[in-house]
Structure 1
Amino acid sequence: MKAEALKKRLDKNRPMTTITIRIPEDVIEDLKRIAPLLGFSGYQPLMRAYIGQGLRSDMERLEGDNISALIASLKRHGVSDEVIHEALTEVTQK
């Protein structure tokens, strides 16, 4: 994730939207019990944290897979490892 996008994600004043989701009652009770033990003010911030962690993990995995596929394709087309490394270094330093 680029630095600017990460800064936006860390902004506590980001716009929020209200949703409705059906979750089993026992899961909500567990969240309410665990939230203060993990330092959360309530179960909803804990749920947002869980969703954010899972989302970031999947985004990293999926975006990483795309990069790996691109690198493999470039190699099949005869692009040298040195050129690929230079290009990756260039785009990750921005």
Structure 2
Amino acid sequence: MKFETLKQRLERNRPMTSVTIRMPEDVVEDLKKVAPLLGFSGYQPLIRAYVGQCLRVDLERFESETVTALVASLKRRGVSDETIEAALNEVVHASH
């Protein structure tokens, strides 16, 4: 994830929107029990944390798949492994 995107996601006062989701009652009750044990003020912050964690995993996976597809495409077009590696290193070091 890019540094600026990560920085924005860590801001405490990010804009929020209401979402309605239907969930089984027993799941909500379990969330209410587990939330304080994990240090959350309620079950809704816990749900946000769960969604955020899984979303970051999926975003990282898709970004990785895109980079892999790009590298494969460059190789098919005759770009050398050395050039691809140098470009990837340049991008990785520039983002830190």
Corresponding residue pairs, total: 94
What letter is aligned with 1:67? V
**Could you tell me which amino acid in structure 2 is paired with residue 41 of structure 1?**
S
Q: Which has the higher contact order (CA 8 A, sep 6+)?
A: 2
For 1:72 and 1:8, locate their aligned partners in 2 and report how far apart those are by CA, in whole Å: 32
Normalised to the residue count of structure 1, the TM-score between the two structures is: 0.95
Instruction: Name the residue aligned to 2:14.
Output: 14
Gaps of 5+ in 2: none
Give unmatched runs, 5+ long, in structure 1: none
Equivalent residues in 2 for 1:47-66, closer than 5 Å: 47-66=47-66
Shift of 1:58: 0.5
2: CA distance, partners of 1:91 / 1:58 = 21
Q: Distance in 1 between matches of 2:51 and 2:25?
A: 18
TM-score of the two chains, using structure 2 as the length reference: 0.93
Paired with 2:7 and 2:62, the residues of 1 have a C-alpha distance of 21
Runs of 4+ aligned residues of structure 1 deviating over 4 Å after TM superposition are: none
The 2-side partners of 1:73 and 1:4 are apart by 28
